[in-house]
Amino acid sequence: MNPLREGLQRQRVPEPCAMVIFGASGDLAHRKLVPAIYSLAHEGSLPPYFALVAVAVSDFTSESFREEMKHAVEEFGRHKPISQAVWNSLARNVHYIQGDFQQADTFNRLNELLERLDRDNGTQGNRLFYLSTAPSLVAMIATQLKEHGLTSSRGWRRLIVEKPFGRDLVSARKLNTQLQSVLNESEIYRIDHYLGKETVQNILVLRFANGIFEPIWRNQFIDHVQITVAETLGVGSRAGYYEEAGAARDMMQNHMMQLLALVAMETPISLNAEQIRNEKVKVLQALRPIREADVRSATVRAQYARGYTDGMPVKGYREEANVSPQSGTETFACVKLAIDSWRWSGVPFYLRHGKRLAKRGTEISVHFKKSPDILFNAADSDTPVDHNVLTIRVQPDEGVSLRMEAKAPGQLLQVQSVKMDFRFGGDSPEAYERLLLDTMIGDATLFIRHDEAEHSWMFFDPILNAWANEGTRLVPQYAAGTWGPKEAEVLLAKDSRQWRRL
């Protein structure tokens, strides 16, 4: 195979391994991880010798945990109804260890079980550890794994860490140092489920496999880029976490910066994971810093108030359970940023995320410059034209559309906007299916490297510090069910632009 096309293999089967999920009784394992593992088994993508070990403090036995996970697969899996034969084959290799993550006995029992699985199940010492736990436990569990010899088996070992990767630059660097004292950087997989989505992976194909796009993917032809992640839901039961995080830490600093990097990166010299991640890091390094003094002119934060969602009245954020009545936590944030590179000089990128907005959707829209002010676009013309817009829909209705101008039917020469639309059909794999399989294979393309996380925090730290110094007095409110505060509209209006409606 051409080494430049590494990653394009049709069939990828990982080596035998044992997967250990810490925090396996939690919501993530219930809704995403175990259903994803079942889907991989259903499609024949799991290795021929595979075992799943669940570790948690909840009161389960291996038998009761298997039954609980079967219900999870039936409810949240994408293959319905489940195949009893596939489930039975998977379930007989599912084991549960009840134990405290801070107790040596838990890791001693885990070590004994994994060694037995190596002997009896042929897992060959290959171990995948998934830390589906509170962020405060990540470094401690990793250290325990090393101290009890769980990272020194004869096979490979890999560690999956869920976001958030710290809450600022200092804590992110500390966490990276702690993890790298346990394993090599190549063995650490910082997971961002957005990167496992079919449409996000298609960004690379769209840009680099189509000769019509890459030549015009630059400042001579692109006016600006918008990235929107809109949610209709409120904070729900996550208020405890959300009060500490807020919209920027929860979504912008990680998911949205990854989307930005993929859209703005230069052409990698190959599809090798490190080459792609090198180019993503260069984008983050080229971000023009927003100084604290400039935060108010380049960013907007806000909080949802009472309003309506799907015609039903909903509470404001400060009225939600476990939220302080004086909370200054943002549920909406937008940022105007610049990339100081040859390709993107002069092209603004606008990022927007909010809860309790008018519509749910995640999309990237690339707005091309208008045609010259001649003929159809002249100042005195009766046939004005709009921007051509390439829209990449990440969710829902995953696909790509291109808005262009065409003549309206009839005798008069009238211009109208039309849309070419492509939707990804079929039963696409869930993001966690792709990411778990990639980890078993050892493909880190869709995972975040330590310097990616740190450079992203380097950009957001001044913004978050400025907001913290302002306190709650400058946090505007927006009615639930709208598109956010008027200040967000003003941010673009100052540049004679407006947000695209999803």
Prior bond to 396 cis, omega within 30? yes
Residue with tokens 């993530």, as numbered in its chain = 28
Q: Catalytic pick from 255, 353, 387, 450? A: 255
428 with 201: CB under 8 angstroms? no
Residue at 66: amino acid letter: R
Task: Pull the structure tokens for residue 289.
Answer: 């810093």
Check if 255 is active-site: yes
**342, burial (CB in 10 Å: exposed 0-12, middle 13-18, buried 19+):** exposed
- Distance set, CA 121 to CA 47, 130, 199 (Å): 11, 20, 37
Give the total residue count for the chain.
502
> Could you write out the DSSP letters of every residue in 194-210?
GGGSHHHHHHHHHHHS-
- Distance set, CA 473 to CA 327, 476, 487 (Å): 10, 8, 15
Rounded Cα distance between 268 and 280, Å, is: 9
Q: Beta strands of 185-329 (E only): which ranges?
A: 188-191, 222-230, 299-305, 307-309, 312-314
Q: How many CB atoms lie within 10 A of CB 163?
A: 20
Angle, helices 198-208 vs 257-264, to 10°: value is 20
Task: Pull the structure tokens for residue 233.
Answer: 């839901």
H or E stretch covering 177: helix 169-180
Residue 123 makes CB contacts below 8 A (sequence gap 6+) with 16, 17, 18, 49, 50, 51, 114, 117, 155
Residue with tokens 């990237």, as numbered in its chain = 364
H or E stretch covering 285: helix 273-285
Rounded Cα distance between 469 and 216, Å, is: 42
415 with 388: CB under 8 angstroms? no
Task: Pull the structure tokens for residue 131.
Answer: 């830390």
> Could you write out the DSSP letters of every residue in 5-19?
GTT--S---PPPEEE
Rounded Cα distance between 109 and 115, Å, is: 10
196 with 431: CB under 8 angstroms? yes
State the distance between the two ends of the chain, measured CA to CA, in whole angstroms. 41
Q: Which residues are catalytic?
A: 255
